[in-house]
């Protein structure tokens, strides 16, 4: 079975064990998730849940909103049932669990990508202020987030041994190739039909920017979490994360990044127009 087939199977499995409450909320049961994540016994999974709860507290979230103790009835043979302790997990709880799991297991590594993307998508969907933004405003918001996270990605890559500007360009291209099915920055630039002076990130819609933001944030976290060392390993990591983000988008039924339309206006132009409008309003107000 190929790596892509394994990723597809894992992502489908995470979807299959997802449950929906009466209020429409989605959740996962810890015992089912532990089996999917290849833990031989539930007791071995409990320390991972504890670490995830600690991470939840440290991130400023209320643990009770994401981890709900639950008594479930299970069959033990001959039609008899007994109660077993379980935990109802939110998507964010699952994200924290896989982040604190054994990343050497392929299913854990794929889970990290799956739940990271799903959690970020839900955060944006739940953010009413973000949803009220127009498309160009969403683009500006995500582009600014991309700038900040790229700084963190640069720092993480440097810690891994990506030192020179050329090294970083090669490192970035590995991420793009994973996400864009082999296209590097130059290939994406050409596909979009951009001028030489235009930057590809300034000519992406909000959906494409969000995919690249996932790629950047998850690569930065993986480099730091696994203390990856060496340019070659850092490049492979960026490529693999990009590829997994692409596969997850496909599993969710989304359009591939290279197939998304290029906006009519460059973000640099939008920013300049916005600054002109602001100055004009100030001049009118001061008259």
Model pLDDT, residue 202: 93
pLDDT tens, residue by residue, 127-148: 555 555 678 888 888 888 888 8
Which band of pLDDT confidence, cut at 50, 70 and 90, is reported for residue 72?
Answer: confident
Average pLDDT over residues 73-99: 78
Q: Is the pLDDT of residue 173 over 90?
A: yes
pLDDT tens, residue by residue, 216-255: 998 998 898 889 999 999 999 999 999 999 988 888 888 9
Residue found by looking up tokens 């507290």 in the block: 57
What ranges in the chain are assigned the alpha helix state H? Answer: 3-16, 30-36, 42-58, 91-99, 106-126, 128-132, 135-160, 165-179, 185-191, 206-225, 231-251, 267-286
Instruction: State the pairing for strand pair 80-89/26-29.
Output: antiparallel
User: Across the chain, what does the average pLDDT equal?
Assistant: 81
Model pLDDT, residue 168: 94
> And the tokens for 39?
């833990």
Residue 17: alpha-carbon gap to chain centroid: 20
Angle between helices 135-160 and 206-225 (to 10 degrees): 20
| Bridge partners (DSSP) listed for residue 19 | 27
Which band of pLDDT confidence, cut at 50, 70 and 90, is reported for residue 46?
Answer: very high
Question: 13 near 34, Cβ under 8 Å?
Answer: no
């Amino acid at each position: 079975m190929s790596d892509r087939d394994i990723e597809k199977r894992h992502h489908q499995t995470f979807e299959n064990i997802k449950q929906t409450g009466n209020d429409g909320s989605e959740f996962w049961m810890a015992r089912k998730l532990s089996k999917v994540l290849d833990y031989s016994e539930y007791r071995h999974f409990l320390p991972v849940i504890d670490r995830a709860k600690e991470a939840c507290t440290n991130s400023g979230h209320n643990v009770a909103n994401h981890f709900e103790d639950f008594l479930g009835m299970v069959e033990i043979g001959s039609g008899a049932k007994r109660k077993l302790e379980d935990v109802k997990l939110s998507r964010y709880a699952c994200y924290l669990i896989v982040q604190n799991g054994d990343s050497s297991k392929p299913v854990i590594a794929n889970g990290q990508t799956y739940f990271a993307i799903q959690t970020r998508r839900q955060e944006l969907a739940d953010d009413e202020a973000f949803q009220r933004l127009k498309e160009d405003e969403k683009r500006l918001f995500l582009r600014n987030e991309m700038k900040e996270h790229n700084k963190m990605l640069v720092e993480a890559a440097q810690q891994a041994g990506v030192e020179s500007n050329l090294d970083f360009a090669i490192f970035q291209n590995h991420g793009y190739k994973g996400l864009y099915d082999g296209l590097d920055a130059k290939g994406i630039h050409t596909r979009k039909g951009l001028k030489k002076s235009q930057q590809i990130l300034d000519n992406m819609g909000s959906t494409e920017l969000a995919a690249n933001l996932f790629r950047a944030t998850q690569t930065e976290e993986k480099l730091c979490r696994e203390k990856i060392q060496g340019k070659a390993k850092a490049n492979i990591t960026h490529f693999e994360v990009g590829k997994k983000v692409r596969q997850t988008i496909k599993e969710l039924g989304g359009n591939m990044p290279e197939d998304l339309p290029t906006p009519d206006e460059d973000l640099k132009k939008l920013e300049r127009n916005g600054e002109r409008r602001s100055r004009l309003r100030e001049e009118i107000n001061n008259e």
